[in-house]
């Protein structure tokens, strides 16, 4: 058996990952390398400070924001991802540099559909040799983009949405293997392709917090049990929180609170939902902001409960995996549990529809002791680590070796 050579193409840097998509990409690369394969990774993304300041990989390319505002003649906001594929594919220098970096490969793993035009260029030019395409879907993207367009009232988005759906279908059709993050997404994509579609859910990197950091946060937060919500500013994370708790956070007692960690906090606090009962909600929120890993680990270990208030968005939620992994109380909407349905019944997990019942469930968990330690549940939770969740994908890629291209 020869050593498999893989080029992983992504739409954000995989080094120093911060948001969920980056974390999945980084773990994907690590999982392939753990199999002993020769993995090279390159990403093309808008040159936002969020990415550029955090550091990029040797073949990563930040794209000028101004050139990502239109796709095939349709100008619109929030389409930098879609626009990036054509921009890179049409840039001879960037393609040549990528070819030089990748060398000959057996497999190109395309994470998310946006760079399919680049893959097509690479295949047409032949410099990489014949390769199999693995399409890594993180979401069924076009309905997600539709929801974002609606939230931000983007007009005339239909051609763009049609373009995204077409791109996703082409990815599935051209792929020798597709990875989905939930069974639900896998079912949708299976309808577009004859290729095998495997489910490889998002996972968890076990963490450990240090006593000094925990003490510091304990002093800031007090002794009352609190619920933790960790999320990025991704719009469904904001919408989900606001909709899941009903009209306000009044279901929490005067001593209870939800600690917001991550960039979601800023957006929740600015939302009309929050401001309409501002002082009431403010009394029940602690804005921890964007945190370093050590702080986030401390908060996870101090939290009495986790809230997963998702009502929209595709894919599976990294934060769901992390919350389930803790063995603490978890109050989740059915949507937040997408991809983790097998974990229903874990001690401490409550799946609650958005609305008044959600807040009451959070109140209730904060009045109860932590779920009892349970060996069987512990074993089930171990299946949430990245090495376990990505194993089906790695196995399927290994099987591609024998497949003629």
To other proteins, the closest distance from the beta carbon of 157 in angstroms equals: 34
Compute CA 388 distance to the chain's CA centroid, rounded to the nearest angstrom. 17
CA distance 230 to 238: 11
Q: What does each C-alpha distance from 347 to 117, 327, 360 come to in angstroms?
A: 46, 7, 18
- Residue identified by tokens 């603490």 is 328
To other proteins, the closest distance from the beta carbon of 297 in angstroms equals: 23
**Which residues share a beta bridge with 45?**
62
CA distance 235 to 379: 34
To other proteins, the closest distance from the beta carbon of 221 in angstroms equals: 9
To other proteins, the closest distance from the beta carbon of 228 in angstroms equals: 18
**Which of residues 74 and 360 has its CB atom nearest to other proteins in the complex?**
360
| 3-state secondary structure labels for all residues of 278-347 | HHHHHCCEEEEECCCHHHHHHHHHHCCEEEECCCCCCCCCHHHHHHHHHCCEEEECCHHHCCCHHHCCCC
**Which of residues 69 and 248 has its CB atom nearest to other proteins in the complex?**
248
**Which of residues 37 and 241 has its CB atom nearest to other proteins in the complex?**
241
**Which of residues 100 and 278 has its CB atom nearest to other proteins in the complex?**
278
**Which of residues 166 and 255 has its CB atom nearest to other proteins in the complex?**
255
CA distance 201 to 318: 9
Question: Site residues (CB under 8 A) for other proteins?
Answer: 222-224, 245-251, 253-255, 277-280, 282-283, 356, 359-360
CA distance 310 to 238: 9
To other proteins, the closest distance from the beta carbon of 360 in angstroms equals: 6
To other proteins, the closest distance from the beta carbon of 239 in angstroms equals: 18
**Which of residues 55 and 278 has its CB atom nearest to other proteins in the complex?**
278
């Amino acid at each position: 058996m020869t050593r498999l050579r893989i080029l992983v193409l992504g739409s954000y840097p995989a080094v120093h990952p911060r948001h969920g998509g980056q974390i999945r990409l980084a773990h994907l690369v690590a999982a392939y390398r753990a199999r002993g394969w020769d993995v090279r990774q390159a990403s093309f993304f808008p040159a936002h400070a969020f990415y550029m300041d955090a550091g990029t990989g040797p073949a990563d390319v930040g794209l000028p924001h101004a050139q990502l505002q239109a796709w095939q003649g349709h100008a619109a906001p929030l389409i930098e991802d879609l626009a990036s594929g054509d921009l890179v594919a049409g840039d001879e220098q960037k393609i040549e540099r990528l070819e030089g970096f990748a060398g000959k490969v057996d497999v190109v793993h395309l994470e998310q559909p946006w760079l399919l035009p680049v893959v097509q260029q690479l295949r047409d030019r032949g410099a990489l040799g014949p390769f199999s395409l693995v399409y890594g879907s993180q979401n069924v993207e076009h309905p997600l983009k539709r929801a974002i367009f609606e939230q931000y009232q983007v007009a005339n988005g239909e051609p763009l949405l049609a373009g995204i759906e077409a791109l996703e279908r082409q990815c599935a059709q051209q792929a020798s293997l597709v990875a989905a993050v939930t069974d639900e997404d896998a079912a949708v994509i299976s309808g577009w392709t004859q290729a095998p579609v495997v489910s490889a859910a998002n996972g968890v990197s076990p963490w450990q917090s240090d006593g000094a950091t925990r003490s510091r946060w304990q002093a800031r937060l007090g002794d009352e049990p609190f619920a933790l919500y960790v999320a990025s500013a991704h719009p469904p994370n904001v919408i989900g929180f606001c909709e899941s708790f009903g009209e306000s956070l009044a279901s929490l007692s005067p001593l209870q609170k939800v600690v917001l960690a991550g960039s979601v906090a800023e957006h929740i606090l600015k939302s009309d939902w929050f401001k309409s009962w501002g002082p009431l909600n403010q009394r029940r929120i602690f804005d921890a902001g964007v945190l370093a890993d050590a702080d986030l680990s401390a908060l996870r270990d101090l939290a009495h409960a986790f809230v997963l208030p998702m009502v929209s968005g595709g894919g599976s939620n990294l934060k769901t995996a992390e919350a389930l992994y803790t063995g603490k109380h978890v109050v989740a909407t059915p949507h937040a549990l997408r991809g983790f349905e097998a974990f229903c019944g874990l001690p401490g997990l409550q799946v609650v529809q958005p609305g008044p019942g959600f807040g009451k469930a959070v109140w209730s968990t904060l009045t109860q002791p932590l779920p009892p330690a349970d060996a069987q549940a512990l074993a089930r939770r171990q299946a949430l680590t990245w090495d376990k969740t990505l194993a089906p994908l790695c196995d399927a890629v290994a099987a591609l070796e024998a497949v003629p291209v």
